[in-house]
Amino acid sequence: MAKRDEHRNTFHPGMIPIAEVFESNAKPIAKDPAALRMWAIIAALCLLAWIIQQAR
């Protein structure tokens, strides 16, 4: 929060913040093959657990 205040005072002196928009620098999941594989594995394990539970 201190860095944000420092930035605001340095680059936008005298302005009163009305609303702040936060932007993420995270990659979208669709562009991250490793994340897609991880979610696919999690979904497959959940489906497998559900099938095993239904069989009992």
Distance between CA 33 and CA 7 in Å, rounded? 35
**pLDDT at position 49 over 80:** yes
Domain range for 41: 2-55
Rg of the chain on CA atoms, in Å: 22
**pLDDT at position 27 over 80:** no
pLDDT tens for each residue of 11-25: 988 888 788 777 888
Phi, psi of 22 (to 5 degrees): -100, 130
Work out how many domains the chain is built from and give that number.
1
Question: Residue 15 carries which side chain, given as an amino acid letter?
Answer: M
Global confidence as pTM: 0.48
Question: Residue 6 carries which side chain, given as an amino acid letter?
Answer: E
